[in-house]
C-alpha cells in the first residue's frame, strides 16, 4: 500500500465531498465543450439550403469545433508547434507539389494587409444570418493568429530497418502519423491508404522505390512521449511563463469592438495542419489538412476601422470587406481536404449571438402556433394524386416527426451522409404493421438506425416510392432539397428543417419536464431532480439522433466505477458481520483504509472504512453505504446508457433555455447544476424569464 503522502483519503463521513469531486470532473467536460463550441453552433444554425455547397460540417479533429459535451474521456495530448515561433515566407516546393498549400502567389510588403480581389460568395454561403438586415454599425478586431511553421526535430524514422532522412514536410507528416500509432486509426484501411499515398507522393519521382509498410515511425513516437514528459515536468515558473504568453495573445486577439462595446472573439486561431479524421467512414480520412496562408483569409471590418496587421511576414490578407449584413469577422476556404469555407465569429455569449439565439427560439415558438395548420397542409399532400405533392408531404412528415435534416447531394469525394431528400431505397425497409425501418449515415457520419410506426398513408406512400426501384435509386426522385425548402418557406416565413428540429426538441423538453408534478418532484432530493431533468433531455437527444463516438477510455472509466461499487459492497458485508458480533459480545470501534481507485502514478484514491462501536451507529453506517451503492450503480447505468448519446448538443443548440430556467426556478434547482458556466453566459438573456413563461 502506498504511503499516506501519496494517497487521497475518502472516509464514509466524507462521501459528500467525494461525490462532488466526481460530479465536477464529469461536468468539466461539458464546460470545456461549450467553451469551444463556436464552429459547431454556427454549423447547427445553417439553413438547409440545397444550393449551399460549401457548408462547414463538424469534424472530430478540427481545432475550432466542439467536443461532445459529455465526452469526459481524456484525449491524448497532440503534438503541436508552439505559438509565434519562427516563420518562413513561403511554402516549400514539395508542399506545393503535394497540394498542401493554401497560399496564392501575391506580392506583399512584410506583414502589411493587402486588398486583393477574390471570387465573391453567394449570400447563402455567408454563415447563417437569418436575413440581410444590418447586424452592426461598427466592427473592429485584430484579425486571426496563424499557427507556426513546422520546426524540425530531426528524429529519423526507419525504413527497412535503417534510419532515413526526411525533408521538412515529410517530417511533419510523419510526426502526425506517429500520433496515431497504437490507436484504432493506425489500422483503419481508408485512413492508412489515404495517408500512405499522400506521404509517398512527397518523395516525387522516387515514390515508387518505397513501400509504406516498411516505414517504422516508432522513433518519432518515442520522441513525442519524451517531449510530453518534459512538458509535464516543467517547473512552475516555466508553466507560468507559457500561460502568460498565451494570455497576452488572447488579450490581443480575443477582443473585438462592436458598436462601441468590447466583445469576446470565439476562436482567433486558424486551424493548424494535421491529419483529417472526420467521423464515421469519411472517404478522405487520413489526408493531410494543409496550412492556411493569410492570402486565403478575408477580413470583415467597418470601413472606418483600422485594418488588422497580418502576423506572417511577407504575406497579406486576401481581401478586406465591410459586410454589415453578416456576423463573421473573418472567413477562409480550406482547399486541402473538404474544400469548404470556414468562419471566425464572436463568442457564444456575445450580443449578436444572444440576439440570434433569441430570434431562433422565438421562430420555433411561432411554429408552435402554426404547426396544426402546417400539418393539415402536408397531410393533404400525402393523399394528393400529384406524385410531387405526395413526396413533398411525405418528406415533410419525416422531417417533422423524426427531426431529419433536408439532405443535399454529395460528391464522390464527400462522406456518404444523407438527409431526407437524399435517402435511397437501400436506406429504408417497409415493414408490416405500418412500420418503416431506417438505416443510414446522418450528419458527421453518425449512423441513424430506427424503426418507427407511421400513419397508414405514409406507409403506403413509402411503399409506392420504392416500387420497381434499385437499392441505389433515390427514394424521393421527384423532389430535391431546394424544392422542399421552397415548400417549407411557403408555409411559414423562414421555416426550415432546423426550425422543425428546434420546435420539436423544445416542445419535447417542455412536455417531459411538465411531468414533474405527477412524478412527485416536490418530494425528491436534488440528485433525483437532476436525474429527472437529464432523462427529459435524453429523450430530446434521442429524438434528434444526437450521437457521439464512444471515447477510448470509456471501458476504463466504467471499470473504475465497478471497482468503487465493489469496495462499497465489501464494506457493507463487513458492517453486517461487525453488527452480528456487536449483538453477541459487543465490539470496539475501529477504522480500516483500502484502495478505492488505483492510479498509475501511485497516488491512489483511498477509502476509510469506519466500524462504529454501537448497534445504532453500525446500522446507520449500513444504511448510508447502501445509499452510496445505489447512487454509484445509478451513475454507472446512466453512463452506459448514454455512452453513444450526446446530451449537450440539444441543450446548447435546440432546447429553448428558458424552459430549463423556469423549471429550475419552480423546483428550486440551482441553474448552474443544469447549465455549465459557459452556457449560463451564452444564455444570460434567458436567466430572468418569468416563472409563468412556457414554451
Are 489 and 370 in a shared domain?
A: yes
The Cα–Cα gap between 253 and 247 comes to 10
The Cα–Cα gap between 661 and 657 comes to 6
Which listed residue (253, 378, 571, 654) is catalytic? 654
* Final residue in a domain of this structure, among 643, 664, 688: 643
Q: How far is CA 242 from the centre of its chain?
A: 27
Q: Note whether residue 508 is domain-resident.
A: no
Are 387 and 463 in a shared domain?
A: yes
* Final residue in a domain of this structure, among 604, 622, 643: 643
Strands across the sheet containing 319-321: 319-321, 297-300, 330-334, 340-344
**Model pLDDT for residues 276-303, shown as the tens digit of each residue:** 987 767 888 999 999 999 999 999 999 9
Residue 588 domain boundaries = 4-35+550-643
- CA nearest neighbour of 88 among 153, 151, 171: 151
State the CATH number of the domain containing residue 422: 3.90.15.10
Decide: 255 and 264 in contact? Cβ < 8 Å.
Answer: yes
Q: Please, what's the b/e burial string for 524-553 (b: 16 or more CB within 10 A of its CB; e: otherwise)?
A: eeeeebbebbeebbbbbbebbbbbbbebee
DSSP symbols for 106-173: ----TT-------PPPPGGGSTT-SSSS---S-EEE---BPPPPP-------EETTEE----HHHHHH
Are 482 and 559 in a shared domain?
A: no
210 flagged as catalytic? no
Are 490 and 555 in a shared domain?
A: no
Ramachandran quadrant class, 167 (left: phi over 0; alpha: psi -120 to 50; beta: rest): beta
Are 490 and 560 in a shared domain?
A: no
Are 489 and 415 in a shared domain?
A: yes
Q: Note whether residue 674 is domain-resident.
A: no
Least confident of 353-367, 541-555, 596-610: 541-555
The Cα–Cα gap between 618 and 353 comes to 56
* Final residue in a domain of this structure, among 476, 495, 514: 495
Q: Note whether residue 669 is domain-resident.
A: no
Are 370 and 486 in a shared domain?
A: yes
Decide: 98 and 202 in contact? Cβ < 8 Å.
Answer: yes
H-helix or E-strand spanning residue 374: helix 351-382
Query: From residue 614, how far is each of 468, 609, 620, 626 by CA, in Å?
Result: 80, 15, 10, 18
Q: Note whether residue 420 is domain-resident.
A: yes
Are 490 and 557 in a shared domain?
A: no
> Phi and psi for 359 in degrees, rounded to 5?
-60, -40
Mean pLDDT for 563-574 is 92
Confidence of residue 5 (pLDDT cuts 50, 70, 90): very low
**Model pLDDT for residues 237-251, shown as the tens digit of each residue:** 999 999 999 999 999
In 486-621, DSSP assigns E strands to 590-597, 605-611
Which pLDDT belongs to residue 178? 96
Are 479 and 373 in a shared domain?
A: yes
**Which pTM does this prediction carry?**
0.70
Which pLDDT belongs to residue 125? 33
Q: Is the dihedral of CA 290, 294, 295, 296 positive or negative?
A: positive
The Cα–Cα gap between 289 and 278 comes to 11
Q: Note whether residue 193 is domain-resident.
A: no
| Whether residue 567 has pLDDT greater than 50 | yes
| Whether residue 86 has pLDDT greater than 90 | no
**Cell numbers for 613:** 462501536
> Phi and psi for 424 in degrees, rounded to 5?
-110, 165
The Cα–Cα gap between 434 and 458 comes to 8
> Phi and psi for 344 in degrees, rounded to 5?
-105, 130
**Residues above pLDDT 70, as percent of the chain:** 80
**Model pLDDT for residues 36-57, shown as the tens digit of each residue:** 333 444 444 333 333 333 233 3
Are 489 and 560 in a shared domain?
A: no
**Cell numbers for 190:** 481508408
| Whether residue 68 has pLDDT greater than 90 | no
Mean pLDDT for 209-224 is 96
**Model pLDDT for residues 370-411, shown as the tens digit of each residue:** 999 999 999 999 999 999 999 999 999 999 999 898 887 665
Q: Note whether residue 55 is domain-resident.
A: no
- CA nearest neighbour of 436 among 415, 410, 465: 465
Q: Note whether residue 570 is domain-resident.
A: yes
- CA nearest neighbour of 489 among 586, 622, 396: 396
SS3 441: strand
* Number of domains into which the chain is organized: 2
The Cα–Cα gap between 271 and 80 comes to 11
**Cell numbers for 222:** 518515442
Decide: 10 and 606 in contact? Cβ < 8 Å.
Answer: yes
Decide: 37 and 633 in contact? Cβ < 8 Å.
Answer: no
Are 471 and 558 in a shared domain?
A: no
Are 478 and 388 in a shared domain?
A: yes
The Cα–Cα gap between 525 and 426 comes to 49
The mean pLDDT of the chain is 81
**Cell numbers for 13:** 463521513
The Cα–Cα gap between 264 and 251 comes to 10
Q: Are strands 319-321 and 297-300 parallel, antiparallel or unpaired?
A: parallel
Q: Note whether residue 204 is domain-resident.
A: no
Amino acid at each position: 500500500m502506498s504511503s499516506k503522502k501519496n494517497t487521497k483519503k475518502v472516509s464514509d463521513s466524507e462521501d459528500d465531498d467525494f461525490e462532488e469531486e466526481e460530479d465536477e470532473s464529469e461536468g468539466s467536460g461539458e464546460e470545456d465543450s461549450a467553451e469551444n463550441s463556436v464552429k459547431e453552433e454556427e454549423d447547427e444554425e445553417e439553413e438547409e439550403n440545397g444550393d449551399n455547397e460549401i457548408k462547414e460540417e463538424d469534424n472530430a479533429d478540427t481545432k475550432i469545433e466542439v467536443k461532445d459535451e459529455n465526452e469526459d474521456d481524456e484525449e491524448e495530448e497532440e503534438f503541436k508547434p508552439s505559438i509565434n515561433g519562427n516563420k518562413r515566407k513561403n511554402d516549400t516546393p514539395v508542399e506545393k507539389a503535394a497540394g498542401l498549400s493554401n497560399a496564392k502567389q501575391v506580392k506583399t510588403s512584410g506583414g502589411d494587409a493587402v486588398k486583393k480581389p477574390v471570387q465573391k460568395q453567394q449570400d447563402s454561403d455567408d454563415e447563417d444570418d437569418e436575413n440581410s438586415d444590418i447586424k452592426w454599425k461598427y466592427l473592429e478586431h485584430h484579425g486571426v493568429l496563424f499557427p507556426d511553421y513546422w520546426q524540425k526535430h530531426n528524429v529519423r524514422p526507419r525504413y527497412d530497418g535503417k534510419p532515413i532522412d526526411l525533408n521538412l514536410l515529410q517530417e511533419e507528416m510523419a510526426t502526425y502519423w506517429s500520433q496515431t500509432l497504437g490507436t484504432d486509426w493506425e489500422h483503419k484501411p481508408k485512413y492508412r491508404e489515404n495517408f500512405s499515398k499522400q506521404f509517398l507522393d512527397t518523395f516525387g519521382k522516387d515514390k515508387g522505390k518505397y513501400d509504406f509498410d516498411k516505414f517504422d515511425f516508432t522513433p518519432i513516437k518515442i520522441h513525442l512521449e519524451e517531449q510530453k514528459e518534459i512538458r509535464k515536468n516543467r517547473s512552475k515558473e516555466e508553466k507560468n511563463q507559457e500561460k502568460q504568453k498565451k494570455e497576452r495573445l488572447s488579450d490581443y486577439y480575443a477582443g473585438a469592438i462592436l458598436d462601441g462595446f468590447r466583445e469576446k472573439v470565439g476562436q482567433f486561431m486558424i486551424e493548424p495542419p494535421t491529419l483529417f479524421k472526420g467521423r464515421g467512414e469519411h472517404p478522405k480520412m487520413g489526408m493531410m489538412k494543409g496550412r492556411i496562408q493569410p492570402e486565403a483569409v478575408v477580413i470583415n471590418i467597418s470601413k472606418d476601422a483600422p485594418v488588422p496587421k497580418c502576423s506572417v511576414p511577407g504575406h497579406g490578407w486576401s481581401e478586406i470587406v465591410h459586410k454589415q449584413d453578416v456576423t463573421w469577422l473573418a472567413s477562409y476556404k480550406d482547399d486541402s481536404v473538404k474544400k469548404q469555407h470556414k468562419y471566425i465569429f464572436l463568442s457564444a455569449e456575445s450580443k449578436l449571438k444572444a440576439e440570434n439565439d433569441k430570434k431562433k427560439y422565438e421562430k420555433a415558438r411561432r411554429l408552435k402556433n402554426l404547426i396544426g395548420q402546417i400539418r393539415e397542409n402536408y397531410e393533404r399532400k400525402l393523399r394528393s394524386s400529384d406524385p410531387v405533392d405526395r413526396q413533398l408531404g411525405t418528406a415533410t412528415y419525416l422531417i417533422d416527426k423524426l427531426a431529419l435534416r433536408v439532405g443535399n447531394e454529395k460528391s464522390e469525394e464527400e462522406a456518404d451522409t444523407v438527409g431526407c431528400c437524399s435517402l435511397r431505397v437501400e436506406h429504408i425497409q417497409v415493414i408490416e404493421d405500418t412500420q418503416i425501418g431506417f438505416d443510414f449515415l446522418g450528419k458527421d457520419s453518425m449512423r441513424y438506425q430506427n424503426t418507427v410506426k407511421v400513419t397508414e398513408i405514409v406507409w403506403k406512400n413509402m411503399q409506392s416510392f420504392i416500387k420497381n426501384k434499385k437499392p441505389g435509386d433515390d427514394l424521393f426522385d421527384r423532389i430535391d432539397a431546394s424544392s422542399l425548402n421552397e415548400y417549407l418557406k411557403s408555409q411559414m416565413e423562414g421555416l426550415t428543417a432546423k426550425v422543425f428540429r428546434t420546435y420539436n426538441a423544445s416542445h419535447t423538453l417542455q412536455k417531459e419536464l411538465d411531468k414533474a408534478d405527477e412524478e412527485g418532484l416536490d418530494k425528491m432530493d436534488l440528485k433525483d431532480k437532476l436525474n429527472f431533468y437529464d432523462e427529459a433531455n435524453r429523450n430530446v437527444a434521442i429524438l434528434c439522433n444526437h450521437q457521439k463516438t464512444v471515447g477510448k477510455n470509456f471501458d476504463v472509466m466504467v471499470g473504475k466505477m465497478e471497482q468503487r461499487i465493489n469496495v462499497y459492497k465489501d464494506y457493507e458485508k463487513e458492517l453486517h458481520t461487525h453488527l452480528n458480533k456487536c449483538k453477541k459480545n459487543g465490539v470496539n470501534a475501529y477504522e480500516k483504509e483500502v484502495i478505492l481507485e488505483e492510479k498509475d502514478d501511485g497516488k491512489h484514491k483511498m477509502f476509510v472504512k469506519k466500524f462504529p462501536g454501537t448497534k445504532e451507529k453500525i446500522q446507520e453506517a449500513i444504511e448510508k453505504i447502501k445509499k452510496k451503492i445505489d447512487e454509484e450503480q445509478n451513475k454507472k447505468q446512466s453512463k452506459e446508457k448514454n455512452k453513444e448519446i450526446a446530451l449537450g448538443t440539444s441543450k446548447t443548440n435546440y432546447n429553448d433555455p428558458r424552459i430549463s430556467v423556469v423549471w429550475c426556478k419552480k423546483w428550486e434547482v440551482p441553474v448552474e447544476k443544469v447549465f455549465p458556466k459557459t452556457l449560463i453566459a451564452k444564455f444570460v438573456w434567458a436567466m430572468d424569464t418569468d416563472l409563468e413563461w412556457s414554451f
